[in-house]
């Protein structure tokens, strides 16, 4: 017979990793505080986020040992493309052309709402589906989905240095080569610089503080619900679609304080779009100078309806549209655009080589 002290010690030893992973949830059971049971999504997501943070070590972009290990093999940094979808990836053939010939410079991750039945695209999209959960429009489930994508991509490949979130309605406006050079400028020094605080590499995320209905969105969970973590002066809005550096991807995956507020349900009549607030608010609090404050994904909000931007349809698609969408009011070029309806795929494919990917 084993003596019981040994069994006790052994049990304690075994439970250490469990305590490590779940301690914050055990110590701060915020779900219970708000009257529901622990949301089933929280425990395995937390474990995933902890693994992601642990995998980069220390919390900076990546550990020194990772950098030196990578440097010896002279690899190039990669862009992780994070596809967030709740329908078929209609534009997969266009993206396939975009990725063609650049195999070692990107990774794809797809978060697809499991409650919707879609046809998995082949080619570069084969076997790129991550563990996903149901998502609803204008709800914190979209934040969780984006964080799952970021965490999975962080763990999967230390060479992932930029993380671009796109949807099934997004199209590329430039060639892969253009996008890659635009982001990394000089890929030789990129890896060495990425981890450092002084890195010249910034995240491309829209961060706005002067929108007309910002206050209504702020109080959507109740007058004082966001306090003290998020005073109104620090509440921001911006596009849900962003390109983050690895350092900021870690910040987002690690974060718990603001999430506790942003995951609360909105109680007002109007939708409150938590996914348009969480990321800009967090990054503008953590590292405003490390962010561009604009998005590289063009979207047309003229005459928007019920929170939906303009959906480009067949008669509108032309080379001129592509040129127009690339333009911005400042010195940068948009790299992606949304939203495009499924029937625009054929004309976009037809002009892919001569227009979209010629730059």
Ligand X SMILES: *[C@@H]1O[C@H](CO)[C@@H](O)[C@H](O)[C@H]1NC(C)=O
Buried b (16+ CB within 10 A) or exposed e, 284-300: bbebeebbbbbbbbbbe
Helical spans, DSSP H, in the chain = 4-27, 30-33, 40-56, 64-72, 92-99, 141-156, 176-184, 187-194, 214-218, 246-254, 257-262, 278-286, 319-326, 345-350
By CB under 6 A, residue 119 contacts ligand X: yes
Could you tell me the smallest distance in angstroms from the CB atom of residue 77 to ligand X? 28
Residue (213 or 324) nearer to ligand X, CB: 324
For 83, list phi and psi in degrees, rounded to 5. -90, 120
Could you tell me the smallest distance in angstroms from the CB atom of residue 119 to ligand X? 4
What does the per-residue mask of binding to ligand X show for 255-294, with x meaning CB under 6 A?
A: ----------------------------------------
By CB under 6 A, residue 136 contacts ligand X: no
What does the per-residue mask of binding to ligand X show for 79-118, with x meaning CB under 6 A?
A: --------xx---------------------------xxx
Q: Which stretch binds ligand X (CB under 6 A): 177-185, 224-232, 264-272, 297-305?
A: 297-305
By CB under 6 A, residue 331 contacts ligand X: no
Using the rule CB under 6 A, which residue among 1, 103, 303, 315 binds ligand X? 303
Nearest in space to 292 (alpha carbons), one of 359, 231, 206: 206
Using the rule CB under 6 A, which residue among 126, 134, 324, 346 binds ligand X? 324
Nearest in space to 109 (alpha carbons), one of 131, 78, 83: 83
Q: Which stretch binds ligand X (CB under 6 A): 124-132, 162-170, 201-209, 324-332?
A: 324-332
For residue 53 the two structure tokens come to: 């943070």
**Binding-residue total with ligand X (CB under 6 A):** 13
By CB under 6 A, residue 314 contacts ligand X: no
By CB under 6 A, residue 302 contacts ligand X: yes
Angle subtended by helix axes 40-56 and 246-254, to nearest 10: 140
For 138, list phi and psi in degrees, rounded to 5. 55, 40
CA distances, 352 to each of 175, 202, 310, 343 (Å): 9, 29, 22, 15
Q: Which residues bind ligand X (CB under 6 A)?
A: 87-88, 116-119, 300, 302-303, 310, 324, 328-329
């Amino acid at each position: 017979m084993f003596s019981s002290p040994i069994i006790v010690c052994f049990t304690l030893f075994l439970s250490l990793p469990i305590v490590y992973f779940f301690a914050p949830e055990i110590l701060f059971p915020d779900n219970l505080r708000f009257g529901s049971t622990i949301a089933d999504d929280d425990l395995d997501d937390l474990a995933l986020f902890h693994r992601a943070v642990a995998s980069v070590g220390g919390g900076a972009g990546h550990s020194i040992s990772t950098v030196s290990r990578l440097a010896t093999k002279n690899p190039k940094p990669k862009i992780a493309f994070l596809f967030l979808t709740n329908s078929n990836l209609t534009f997969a053939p266009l993206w396939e052309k975009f990725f063609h010939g650049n195999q070692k410079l990107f990774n794809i991750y797809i978060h697809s709402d499991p409650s919707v039945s879609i046809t998995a695209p082949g080619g570069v999209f084969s076997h790129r589906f991550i563990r996903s959960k149901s998502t609803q429009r204008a709800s914190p489930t979209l934040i969780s989905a984006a964080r799952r994508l970021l965490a999975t991509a962080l763990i999967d490949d230390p060479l992932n240095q930029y993380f671009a979130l796109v949807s099934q309605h997004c199209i590329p406006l430039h060639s892969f080569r253009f996008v890659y050079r635009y982001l990394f400028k000089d890929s030789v020094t990129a890896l060495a610089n990425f981890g450092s605080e002084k890195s010249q590499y910034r995240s491309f995320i829209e961060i706005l503080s002067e929108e007309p209905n910002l206050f209504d969105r702020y109080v959507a969970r109740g007058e004082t619900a966001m306090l003290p973590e998020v005073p109104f002066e620090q509440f921001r809005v911006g596009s849900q679609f962003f390109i983050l550096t690895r350092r900021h991807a870690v910040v987002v995956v690690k974060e718990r304080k603001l999430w506790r507020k942003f995951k609360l349900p909105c109680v007002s009549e109007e939708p409150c779009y938590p996914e348009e607030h969480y990321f800009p608010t967090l990054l503008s609090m953590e590292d405003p100078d490390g962010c561009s404050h604009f998005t590289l994904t063009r979207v047309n909000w003229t005459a928007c309806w019920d929170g939906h931007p303009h959906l480009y349809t067949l008669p509108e698609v032309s080379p001129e549209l592509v040129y127009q969408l690339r333009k911005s009011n400042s010195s940068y070029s948009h790299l992606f655009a949304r939203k495009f309806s499924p029937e625009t795929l054929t004309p976009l494919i037809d002009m892919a080589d001569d227009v979209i990917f010629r730059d």
